[in-house]
Structures are given as structure tokens and as C-alpha cells.
Structure 1
Amino acid sequence: MYLEHFGLREAPFAITPDTHFYYCSPSHQEALNVLLVALRSGAGFLKLTGEVGTGKTLLCRRLLNTLDDSFVTAYIPNPFLNPTALRMALAEELGLEFARNIGQHRLLKLITERLIELNAAGKRVVLLIDEAQAIPDDSLEALRLLTNLETEKDKLLLVVLFGQPELDQRLERPRLRQLRQRILFSHRLRPLSAAESAGYLQHRLQLAGAASDCFTPRALRLLHRASRGIPRLLNVLAHKGLMAAFGAGLQRVDAEQVRRAVADTEDASPLPAAWRRPWALGALGTAACAGMGLLLWTAGR
């Protein structure tokens, strides 16, 4: 009923990184351009950082989908691995078969041989690591040593780190200065502006099948203010706003529904007192409306 009420084919604000809903904001497009140009030029080490919820994983997947068949990609989404496990994960991504008790010298030799084989075939190998702020220091050093593998003209392994701002702080440590010096290109994702936030929400609604605006102009302004322009928070607040409007039988989300969504979301920035109003039935109305919204939210993911 949530989707039918607003004329939607699918849930527009699921928090999974679905590239179908990718919104080309200036910051994301600049980041994608930097990464593509750097990888095509053979730059060995790249870094992209951004606050939680700014779309790093979505951009990583967009990059994976954009690279053509001249690239071979390896993707590690959870890099909280020791050096041995990191090398094994890379070997598996490269399609290598090996015994689990293989010695590290032998494993590194297999990886090197595979990289040389792919380079001879005209392929660039790119390792993309998400949540890179979680990599242990010893594994970061192992990663740096892997990028030492090269021919006279080419790096055999290109690496892109996607991480939270804590990654930048870690790389400032003296013990990681050699890795820091290897990073040739870096980019920091910024939150969306007010205009970009409105465009982002309308973009997702249109892709989900909305035939008309589901948010009033004031609701859009409040959503941007409360979310601080962070896409993930925009998704959460917009979903809850639609849920509250549906429960009230409204065709558009107005300021009141956004206030309720903000009150129900811990990480949302509180709205100025002049923009808040008390209500008696809880932040999102009745329990039945909340239960129905949660069910549809889950089904739409």
C-alpha cells in the first residue's frame, strides 16, 4: 500500500548501495573522473574518503561497473584481515586455486605470476578495498609491498582505497609514511548541497516510478537541513516521511511529516525550535503505520 499510495514501482529510498539509483552529484562525478583517469594512466595507489553515508560504497560499485574489459578487478569489501588473509583474498579474487596451508612465499609467487600473465595480455589489475579505515597497519604494509610488483614500464597491481576520514588520520602516522607517499591521487567526497539534496530525492523518486512530486518545497529544505546533505540519512528521513504521510492519508510529505521523521532518527540534526511541533501519537504516528512501513521498507530492499 505504501508504494501504491504514491504510485511507485519500487521502494525509492532503500539504504543498500543500488547502482540503479546512482545520482551523479558534482562531487561524485569529480571523484569518478579522477579515479578513471588515474587508473587508465596506470597510477599505482589511489584514495577516496568521505563521511559515513556519503556514498563511497555506491561509488565503488559504480566504478566497478564503469571499467571496461581492459581491466581485471578484485574487490575486498571487508578488509579487517591480517596480511596472510589479505593476500589470500586477493589470490581468490584473481581466480587462483591454492591449498589453505600454502606458504606465504609460494602464495606471493602465484599472485606475481598471475599479475605478470594478465599484464602480458594487456590487462590492468585493480584492487578495490572498501572500508579501508579498518585495515590493520601490518596489512597496509603488506598492501604497499604488493604494489612494488612491477615491470620496467607498468605497475602490476593498482589499488584504490575507499574509507572514512579516519583513514586520512591513520596515514599521517610516521610508520605509514611510505604508504602515504605512494598515494598519487586522492579525493574527499563532500555532502550534498541543498539543491543537490532536492535533486537527489527527485531523481530516486522518478526512477522508482513517481509521476508527481512527493515532497513539498519546505519538506525538501527540512530534509536537507536534518540530513546535513548525507545521502544515507536523506534516504532514511525521506522513507520515514513518506511512511508518515501514508499513515495520515496525504499525497505529499510536508514539514510536519519531516519533523516526525527527524524525531525518530537518532543521527539526524535537530531542527530549530521554531520548526518543531509536539504531537501525541509518537514520531511516526500509530504503531500500525510504523509496522506497515517497516515491512514495506524490508520488502523493498
Structure 2
Amino acid sequence: MSYLTHFGLEKAPFSLTADPHFYIDFIPHKEALEVITTALSFGESILKITGEVGTGKTLLCNKLQQELSEQYHLCIIDNAYLSAHELRCLLASKIGIDKADFDEQFLLTEKIKERLLTLRDEGIKVLVLVDEAQALPDSTLEALRLFSNLETDADKLLQVILFGQPELDLRLADPKLRQLRQRITFSYQLRALSEQEIEHYISERLKQAGYRGARLFSTRVCRKISQASRGIPRLINILSHKILMLSYGEQHYKITNKLVKEAVADTEDAYALPTLTGWWLLLLSFIVLNTTLLLWWKGLL
């Protein structure tokens, strides 16, 4: 018997895989999707979505694949260490160019342009989704920019969405990449979730996993998860998963503060929760400070 059976779940609710079936339409992701779909409809060449580690960039990327697969020929670039030539070869492969044409770099670029023109004439739009873009070499980022230059009098032959950590913005600030930076016409930065969003997030993930019982995670427990996770979805998943495992290990259904503290203590990147002793010391310091100020104001010190 696993904790899934214990809680009446059909599948793991807090898996770390970026499963679009677990996508929840929170404000950060909803706004990012709106920015992307609007920019794509305008024909913009390069878009950028950034966010801290664990804020759901890959999940958003997978959701876009699901949403846009009927409108675009999608080219997914999920290897962040490709050289510029390897990028050309991968793109060529994804748009149907024979591998026998991969050897000569200059000719390959021309063949990619010819193939993109053919696809355009067939009414097929090409969209390149690049995950972990902050890790791509400068030469590879420059190759992407050059591909974004390919166009007819009326249309871009392909469009690019870069997904990356905040380090991508730091790299784009380098004068060497200023031409690429100027090509990025729309961008959005994913934020962490608020306490209220976390409470809804946990509830929805459980519901999508098949849970139909009484409420498991109270507002108080969610508040502690919010403090420890800093609102980062990946950490919320890790903590929630560990809490359910601990509850199952004790063979009960109640999620207690004790279980939350144990899960937090076992998670390296989680912020330690303030202890009761710490709160008392803070309160005592506040009282002493205010008493001292009051006595000073009355001239007794």
C-alpha cells in the first residue's frame, strides 16, 4: 500500500515532472500565456519568458506545446549546450531537411531558409521553443537571432520563444548580445505564488490527482508551506509530497504543523520556519524597546 492508496489518489499529485495536465491557470502563467499568444499573433520574431528556478517555465513551455500544436509546426530545443552548428542541424532535422545536407554550414542555412519558405507557402508557421536559454553559448544565441531575421516582405519565416532563468537577462545585458536583445520585443517574468494562490494550488493538484476527501491542507499549514517555499511551485511540490509521505508513515490523515516542520527540515532549499522561542524573543525585544523609549520620553532615564 502506498500513500496514493492511503489518501485515495489516482496518481501522484506533486510530481516534479512538468506535466501539462497539472497546469493551473494562475495569474503569472495566465499573463505569460496572454503575452505570448498576443505577440505571436502580431508576428513578433523573438519573445522571452524568465523566472527563478522552479517557477514553472518548463511546465509553461509544455502547456504551449499542447495549446499551439495545431497552429504551428513546433521545434523544441531542450538541450542547452548545443553549438551553433548543432542548433542548425537540429532545426533542419525538425523541419524535414535530409541529414545528408548537414555537413556544409553555409549551405545548410540556405537550405533551412528554402525549407521555411516552402512551409510558409503551404500555410505552415514555424515556432521554436527554447528551454533553459540562459545556458546556450553566445554563438548559439547569435545563430537564433540570425534565424529570426529570415523573412519575406510580409512575414517572419519562424518565431522564437526563449525560456530562461534571470541569468538570461544578465547575459543579454552584455554588449556582445545587444543585437539579440533589441530583437526581443515582448517579455514576461514569472513571479512566485502568493499564500492564497498556494492554498488553491495545493487543493487543485490534489483534486486533479483524484482526491475526493475532506480538506487535507489547512490555511495554517499552507501559510507555513508558503513561508518555507517562498512561493516557488517546485518547492511547494517537494514539501507537499514529503508531508503526505510522513502522514502516511504515521498512518493518519491529519496534516499537522509537526509534519510540515519535518518536511522543511528535510528539504535543503526550503527556508527554516520560525520557532516559537524565536517569536517570544522577538516579542520580548519589542516590549523592552518600547518600555525603554516610554521611560526616556517621560524623563525617567
Contact 1:3 1:9 (C-alpha < 8 Å) held by counterparts = yes
Unaligned runs of 5+ in 2: 279-301
Counterpart code for 1:217: T
Deviation at 1:95, TM superposition (A): 2.2
Query: Structure 1 residue 96: deviation in Å?
Result: 1.8
Give the RMSD, CA atoms, in angstroms: 1.3
Aligned equivalent of 1:11: 12
Q: In the alignment, which residue of structure 2 is the partner of 1:60?
A: 61
Q: Find the aligned partners of 2:203 and 2:70 in 1 and give their Cα distance.
A: 33
Tell me the amino acid that sits aligned with residue 85 of structure 1.
E
- The residue matched to 1:179 in structure 2 has which SS? helix
Report the equivalent of 1:178.
Answer: 179
Tell me the distance in 2 between the aligned counterparts of 1:101 and 1:28: 38
* Other structure's SS at 2:99 match: coil
**Superposed counterparts of 1:278-297, under 5 Å:** none
Task: Trace 1:101-112 onto structure 2 (pairs within 5 A).
Answer: 102-112=103-113
Aligned twin of 1:245? 247
Q: Equivalences for 1:78-227 in 2 at 5 Å?
A: 78-99=79-100, 102-211=103-212, 212-227=214-229
- Deviation of 1:101 after TM superposition, in Å, equals 5.6
**Higher Cα Rg, which structure:** 2
Superposed, which structure 2 residues align to 1:28-39 within 5 Å?
28-39=29-40
Q: Deviations over 1:132-164 (max 9, x none)?
A: 001101111111111111000101010000000
Deviations 1:217-265 (A, max 9, x none): 2211111111111000000000000111111122121211010000000
Q: TM-score, normalised by structure 1?
A: 0.89
Aligned partners of 1:57 and 1:252: how far apart in 2?
32
Structure 1 stretches of 4+ with a deviation exceeding 2 A read none
Q: How far apart are 1:72 and its partner, in Å? A: 1.0
Tell whether the 8 Å contact from 1:218 to 1:254 is kept in structure 2 after alignment: no
TM (norm. structure 2) is: 0.89
Equivalenced residues, count = 276
Structure 2 residue aligned with 1:258 = 260
For the 8 Å contact 1:79–1:86, the answer to whether it is kept is no
AA aligned to 1:148 is N
In structure 2, the CA distance between the partners of 1:21 and 1:70, relative to structure 1 (3 Å rule), is: closer
Change (3 A) 1:275 1:182: farther
Q: Distance in 2 between matches of 1:213 and 1:42?
A: 46
Q: Which residue is 1:299 aligned to?
A: none
- Contact 1:75–1:128 (Cα < 8 Å) also in 2: yes
CA contact (8 A) 2:243 2:259 kept: yes
| CA spacing shift, 1:275–1:186, aligned 2, 3 Å | farther
TM-aligned CA deviation for residue 185 of structure 1: 0.1
Q: Deviations over 1:254-300 (max 9, x none)?
A: 21101000000000011112289xxxxxxxxxxxxxxxxxxxxxxxx
Q: Is the 8 A contact 1:216 1:252 kept in 2?
A: no
Specify the SS of the correspondent of 2:100.
coil
**Distance in 1 between residues matched to 2:130 and 2:13, nearest whole Å:** 27
Provide the rounded CA distance (Å) in 1 between the counterparts of 2:197 and 2:179. Answer: 38
Structure 1 CA distance, aligned partners of 2:119 and 2:233? Answer: 37
Match of 1:272 in 2: 274
What is the distance in 2 between the residues matched to 1:32 and 1:136?
Answer: 27
Conserved? CA contact 2:101–2:108, under 8 Å: no
Deviations 1:89-119 (A, max 9, x none): 1111112222276201121122111110111
How far residue 70 of structure 1 moved from its aligned partner, in angstroms, is: 3.0
Residue deviations 1:4-54 (CA, integer Å, cap 9, x gap): 111111110010000111011101000011101111221101000000000
Q: Distance in 1 between matches of 2:69 and 2:17?
A: 24
**Hey, what's the Cα distance between the residues in 2 that align with 1:24 and 1:75?**
23
**% identical equivalent positions:** 50
Relative to structure 1, the CA distance from residue 158 to residue 101 in structure 2 (aligned partners, 3 Å threshold; closer, same or farther) is closer
More displaced stretch, 28-37 vs 106-115: 106-115
